[in-house]
């Protein structure tokens, strides 16, 4: 993937804003539907949100730490994804074949509450702050660890794509879960 950096950051900001709208709308949904699993082996809407939150707990501090340690530099006008970063980002897109969820990130059969959505909303505001900060940095030169291995590093631009696309993917899953719960 090759894109103008300003366009990439703008697109990711818009997607994060859309994710916020979806989450705020979920707050209006009865807790029964948010926790209902249809089918029983699927995740409930709140389990989807908790799954996202677990990744946010890793990536938001990781991104902030890397930005704090970096030197502000002129932003390159074009961001070019790394091979692995682009592969991971594209796998996170809604509809793409994803990866199996790691046990530590699997919220299945856990007790969930509205606080999970509130936490997600707070994480999205933090992401918006980080995206604004990114305008002062080179998204290719800053490398971030990934949640599955400290040995693999991605370009910051790719990490942002992975996290935000992952959020979108599982919010859509949560919305479908609510629709199924209301239909049954």
pLDDT digits (tens, 9 = 90+) for 10-63: 999 999 999 999 999 999 999 999 999 988 889 999 999 999 999 999 999 999
Reply yes or no on whether the pLDDT at 167 is more than 70.
yes
Bridge partners of residue 146, in order along the sequence? 149
Non-local CB neighbours of 110 within 8 Å, separated by 6+ positions = 47, 50
Cis peptide upstream of residue 39 (ω within 30 degrees of 0): yes
CA distance 65 to 87: 24
Non-local CB neighbours of 152 within 8 Å, separated by 6+ positions = 84, 145, 146
Percent of the chain scored above 70 by pLDDT?
95
Residue 76: pLDDT band (50, 70, 90) is: confident
Domain 2-183 in CATH 1.20.120.450? The answer is yes
pLDDT of 137-154, one tens digit each?
999 999 999 887 777 899
Confidence at residue 168, expressed as pLDDT on a 0 to 100 scale? 97
Confidence at residue 153, expressed as pLDDT on a 0 to 100 scale? 94
85 in Cβ contact with 162 (< 8 Å): yes
Domain ranges for the chain, please list them.
Answer: 2-183
If you average pLDDT over residues 4-10, what whole number do you get?
Answer: 94
Reply yes or no on whether the pLDDT at 155 is more than 90.
yes
In 3D, which of 159, 164, 165, 16 has the Cα closest to residue 81? 159
């Amino acid at each position: 993937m090759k894109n103008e950096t300003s366009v990439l950051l703008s697109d990711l900001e818009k997607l994060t804003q859309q994710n916020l709208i979806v989450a705020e709308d979920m707050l209006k949904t009865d807790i029964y539907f948010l926790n209902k699993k249809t089918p029983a082996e699927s995740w409930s809407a709140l389990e989807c949100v908790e799954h996202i939150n677990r990744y946010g707990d890793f990536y938001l501090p990781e991104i902030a730490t890397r930005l704090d340690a970096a030197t502000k530099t002129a932003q390159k006008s074009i961001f070019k994804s790394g091979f692995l970063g682009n592969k991971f980002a594209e796998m996170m897109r809604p509809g793409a074949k994803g990866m199996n969820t790691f046990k530590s990130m699997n919220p299945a059969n856990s007790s969930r509450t509205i606080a999970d959505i509130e936490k997600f909303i707070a994480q999205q505001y933090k992401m918006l702050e980080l995206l604004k900060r990114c305008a002062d940095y080179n998204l290719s030169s800053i490398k971030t660890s990934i949640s599955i291995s400290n040995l693999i590093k991605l370009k910051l631009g790719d990490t942002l794509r992975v996290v935000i696309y992952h959020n979108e993917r599982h919010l859509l899953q949560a919305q479908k879960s609510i629709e199924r719960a209301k239909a049954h």
